Structure 1
Amino acid sequence: MEISGWMYVVVVILGIIIAVTLIGCLLTILAIWTRPVLRKLVNVPLVSLSCADIISSIFSVSLLIHTYLHPQWEPLGALCWLQAYITIVLWGVSSCHMACIALQRYFIVCTNSTLLKSTRALAIMLLITWLIPFVSFLPIHIVEEVKLDPKLKRCGMGASTNLWGKMVPAILNFFGPFIATLISYALIRYNVKKSNNRVVQGSSSPNNAAERQITRMMMTLFVVYTVCCVPLIMMAIFSSRVPSEAFTVGQVLMALNGALNPIIYGLMNRNIRQGYKHIWDSLLNSIN
């Protein structure tokens, strides 16, 4: 089968996205790990999300490129199953991270509970963030047949008629976390407007200014996630009515989210930006 010219353009774009994602996410992890000023609980979810983005780029997006370049290629049974399962799980992991980050901001900004702000609470939230997608998507991937979807250009279960098998994981991994994130940020906004003594508004304290900027950054992450990822998630749910070209655009946007996250960190957080520069300078010095 002949590959169209625009598909080569898509492949080049995806290749650039993979490179930017890997470099950006690795820089993020190293910066937070090595810089004392960044070793804070608020940055732990960013490390976790970066790990998810790296796995997605290496596995899901790379296989997608191979499928675009070799339209007749079909992965073997085990690889096909793994591609379908890991891809959708990582979608859920990203969505749950948005909720985890929003809840953490809510606990910091709107509550006085040391328990909710503790390392233990964050560890439990991150464990749930990874556990829910892995567990909730497993039953339908065991029960239903997994095969190559010609529209998605990857293995999946778009043709499955098991509505409940699809809807329960969708609620747990997409709709539920999305609503929880919206509610959390709405409550933060309400709390800030209600009291000038809250972290996000009305204080000249350097600590409050820093927290204010962190909250803006996390909200920006959610907005970018919504723009990049929600279209493909909705297309996957209503796949029978969506043309294959729309799926291609949706998958490029989904991959782009992983590349944009480190850029947002660098643009909106001075300490992370300085961490990037420090690691990059150290790398160049070691080469020279």
Structure 2
Amino acid sequence: MEGISSTLSALQNITLNMTMDYNITNSSSSGAGPSALALRIGAVVMLISLLWGLFANALTMYAILTNRELKNITNMFIVSLCINDIMNLGISNLLVLVSYFMMTWSTGLIVCEMVTHFTVLLMGSSLWHTGLIAIHRLIVVCFNSFYKKISKRSYTIFVLTTARIVPLLFLIQPHLGNMVHYEPKLLRCIIRQGFGLYTMLVSIVLMIMPSLMLIICYIAIFIKVHQSSSAFRATRKREWLRREIQITKMFGFVFLVIILGYLPYGIVRSIDKKLLFSADCYVVISVLYAVANSCNPIIYGSMDRNIRRACFKALNIDKKCMGEEERLRKLSAVNVNGHGQKVEIPSDENTEAVPLNSNSPK
């Protein structure tokens, strides 16, 4: 009983100290927060991206899990990513959004610290998912013979475990519960300056490493497609060109999400360690970061033809949308081959079946 009482007393002291720290910091820095206009605009944009992200991730999951043809290893990774993104949007982004609408953090320092660590965990897991999905596609495309030999079950478990264990390691430390302080200029908690090494490792391991993996893998995939044999290009030029355009579009969008969504926040926080920049500047980069968190369904859902069609079917708009896609595809073929010239349009299924690492058909 004495041990339980001492534990409860210690928890009460920690809670009291955290609350006092929150109140003192909040009162001493009053008036240092963002402008009301910036918060209102940021809150509206974040709300739209939050609703879109929750809807699109749930729809992508439903489309994959209810369609037997979509149940492959890559799409299982995408389902895991969708689950992680829904948690990230529903916890971290939602509470930041509430603070923007309320123009203050109203849930106390304990929740504030929990959100900080959840952000590290879920953001890191999301980026590691994207990096490992890129590595998976690189293996399938460029090292297909190796991929055929490995155990798919063990490989899937390893990838899904790694994507969650690596960020989780940053929560296993003795200072957990006393690492953050409330910053009114940002309307949320940040890691204390005494944990500079921790902050640097989070940036390197959870942001820079998976981003580099993703960029390098997509560049390698693009090069592999571009260096396809001349015989393959001559016999199946349209399929090869369509696939190359698809990879280019996906890589371009991923690159934009990283450059415009994730990097600005990391760069500004690393440069402005004393928080001298305008508070409105932090609203802008926080909104960009929140929008980037909602973009994965576009990259891994709508930019994949099969998943996109399954989503259309789930919404009962497949006939209309597929008819429009077919019309645009035929129009594109006519523009490429000349007006009035009859061309053979390969089916989308055949186009998607063209392997990126294949040689000329025998």
Amino acid at match of 2:134: A
TM-fit CA distance, 1:216: 4.5
> Structure 1 pair 272/155, CA: closer, same or farther in 2 (3 Å)?
same
What is residue 184 of structure 1 aligned with on the other side? 217
Q: Secondary structure of the residue that 1:162 maps to in structure 2?
A: helix
1:36-185 to 2 correspondence within 5 Å? 36-111=68-143, 112-113=145-146, 114-115=148-149, 118-139=152-173, 142=176, 144-157=178-191, 159-185=192-218
Residue 21 (structure 1) aligned with residue 53 (structure 2) = yes
Residue deviations 1:114-141 (CA, integer Å, cap 9, x gap): 2458342133122111111121254386
> Structure 1 pair 203/47, CA: closer, same or farther in 2 (3 Å)?
farther
Question: TM-score scaled by structure 1?
Answer: 0.83
TM-fit CA distance, 1:245: 1.6
**Aligned partner (choices 312, 315, 329) of residue 277 of structure 1:** 312
4-13 or 50-59, which deviates more = 4-13
In the alignment, the residues of structure 2 paired with residue 23 and residue 191 of structure 1 have an alpha-carbon distance, to the nearest angstrom, of: 35
Please, what is the CA RMSD of the aligned residues?
3.1
In the alignment, the residues of structure 1 paired with residue 241 and residue 159 of structure 2 have an alpha-carbon distance, to the nearest angstrom, of: 26
Contact map agreement 1:35 1:275 (CA 8 A) in 2: yes
In the alignment, the residues of structure 1 paired with residue 112 and residue 277 of structure 2 have an alpha-carbon distance, to the nearest angstrom, of: 22
TM-fit CA distance, 1:175: 1.8
Q: Secondary structure of the residue that 2:229 maps to in structure 1?
A: coil
Residue 268 (structure 1) aligned with residue 300 (structure 2) = no
TM-fit CA distance, 1:212: 5.4
TM-fit CA distance, 1:208: 7.1
> Structure 1 pair 168/267, CA: closer, same or farther in 2 (3 Å)?
closer
> Structure 1 pair 119/225, CA: closer, same or farther in 2 (3 Å)?
farther
Q: Secondary structure of the residue that 2:281 maps to in structure 1?
A: helix
Gaps of 5+ in 1: 283-288
Contact map agreement 1:102 1:218 (CA 8 A) in 2: no
238-247 or 9-18, which deviates more = 238-247
**Aligned partner (choices 239, 245, 267) of residue 234 of structure 1:** 267
In the alignment, the residues of structure 2 paired with residue 263 and residue 42 of structure 1 have an alpha-carbon distance, to the nearest angstrom, of: 15
Contact map agreement 1:196 1:203 (CA 8 A) in 2: no
> Structure 1 pair 94/141, CA: closer, same or farther in 2 (3 Å)?
farther
In the alignment, the residues of structure 2 paired with residue 126 and residue 235 of structure 1 have an alpha-carbon distance, to the nearest angstrom, of: 31
> Structure 1 pair 31/179, CA: closer, same or farther in 2 (3 Å)?
same
Q: Secondary structure of the residue that 1:161 maps to in structure 2?
A: helix
In the alignment, the residues of structure 2 paired with residue 280 and residue 180 of structure 1 have an alpha-carbon distance, to the nearest angstrom, of: 34
Contact map agreement 1:266 1:272 (CA 8 A) in 2: yes
Question: TM-score scaled by structure 2?
Answer: 0.67
TM-fit CA distance, 1:29: 0.2
Residue deviations 1:81-136 (CA, integer Å, cap 9, x gap): 21110012222122212211110111011102124583421331221111111212
Q: Secondary structure of the residue that 2:103 maps to in structure 1?
A: coil
Contact map agreement 1:115 1:121 (CA 8 A) in 2: no
1:209-228 to 2 correspondence within 5 Å? 215-216=247-248, 218-220=250-252, 222-226=254-258, 227-228=260-261
TM-fit CA distance, 1:178: 2.1
Residue deviations 1:6-47 (CA, integer Å, cap 9, x gap): 422221221111111111110000001011222121212221
TM-fit CA distance, 1:218: 4.8
In the alignment, the residues of structure 1 paired with residue 269 and residue 174 of structure 2 have an alpha-carbon distance, to the nearest angstrom, of: 15
Larger radius of gyration: 2
In the alignment, the residues of structure 1 paired with residue 290 and residue 254 of structure 2 have an alpha-carbon distance, to the nearest angstrom, of: 15
In the alignment, the residues of structure 2 paired with residue 250 and residue 140 of structure 1 have an alpha-carbon distance, to the nearest angstrom, of: 31
> Structure 1 pair 136/145, CA: closer, same or farther in 2 (3 Å)?
closer
Q: Secondary structure of the residue that 1:152 maps to in structure 2?
A: coil
